Amino acid sequence: MGQSGMKLRIGFHAPALLAAIMFSTASPAADIEHQTDYSISLAGLPVARASFYTEVEKNRYTISGTLRSAGLADIISRTSGQTRVSGVVGRDRLRATEYSMSYRSGRKARAINVTFRNGNVVQASMTPKRNPLPKNWVPVTSRDMRNVLDPLSGLIIPARSRICPNTLPIFDGESRLDIQLSPRGTRIFRTKGFEGEVIVCGVRFVPKAGYRKGREDVEYLRRLATMEVWFAKAQTVDVYAPVYLRIPTKLGPVTISATRFGG
């Protein structure tokens, strides 16, 4: 896969890293309905828009989101996707019970469904399946699916926990990876509904299983040491959630920014 293919892969999957934002404005003590919008750009040009809707009822949460390509990317290869996660609001983190994602890019389409129990994957399916698997495929084992987080609510971090340094074990239904966060200071971030100091973390992607070893885009992300994610503290609940993500590519940086954070 070349840089254009990598751009489409990043462009679809990166919003999952920011999907947690809209939950961060919700209070587990009350029924909540909330929507948040995002802007996704490549080298300063808009390539996609994403919207997420959250419902919280007692100790249960549901996050659903949509993604659509925009601008030139919509002309080259129209992409759309839907994602949803539901689970239980725990004292130390959100524990997903069901996670799903589906997308279509041009003529290609895929759907993923995952069932969790106490942080462990009990069932995972993908349609269509990769068949046959490439010879250089690193298979996902049962051990890889223990004590993992989904890619949406996995990035909501309680304020009493460390933001960075931190390691988040993510399973997205096909791939198992660690997201390693390292401290890079603070910044000021402004958007609709929020203005204040945010925590800046460096990001490293560490692929563990469920990928083709030696694949160009995976190796690029694995070696990349200049990615950043910014976390903001919500006013209404004691958690941090990401408001900005930057991924450098040879075609220019992919940036994903919350255009609304609460408010």
Average pLDDT over residues 59-72: 81
Q: Kindly give, in sequence order, each residue whose CB lies less than 8 Å from that of residue 105, ignoring residues fewer than 6 positions away.
A: 8, 12, 77, 78, 79
Q: Kindly give, in sequence order, each residue whose CB lies less than 8 Å from that of residue 42, ignoring residues fewer than 6 positions away.
A: 7, 11, 73, 249, 251, 252, 253, 254
Structure tokens at 151: 């890619």
Q: Which helix (H) or strand (E) holds 11?
A: helix 3-18
Q: Which helix (H) or strand (E) holds 53?
A: strand 45-57
Q: Regarding predicted confidence, which is higher, 141 or 14?
A: 141
Confidence of residue 59 (pLDDT cuts 50, 70, 90): confident
Sequential DSSP letters for 64-91: EEEEEE-THHHHHS-EEEEEEEEEEE-S
Instruction: Render pLDDT for 117-157 as a digit per residue (tens, 0 to 9).
Output: 999 999 999 999 888 888 999 999 999 999 999 998 888 78
Confidence of residue 35 (pLDDT cuts 50, 70, 90): low
Q: Is the pLDDT of residue 1 over 60?
A: no
Structure tokens at 115: 């069932």
Structure tokens at 61: 């949460």
Structure tokens at 38: 């995002």
Angle at which helix 216-223 crosses helix 3-18, to 10 degrees, equals 60
Quick one: which of 83, 70, 145 has its CA closest to 110? 83
pLDDT of residue 241: 81
pLDDT of residue 16: 43
Average pLDDT over residues 66-76: 70
Interior/surface letters 77-114, b for 16+ CB within 10 angstroms, e for the rest: eebbbebbbbbebeeebbbbbebbbebebeeeebebbb
SS3 188: strand
The CA distance from 62 to 121, in Å, is 18
pTM of the model: 0.83
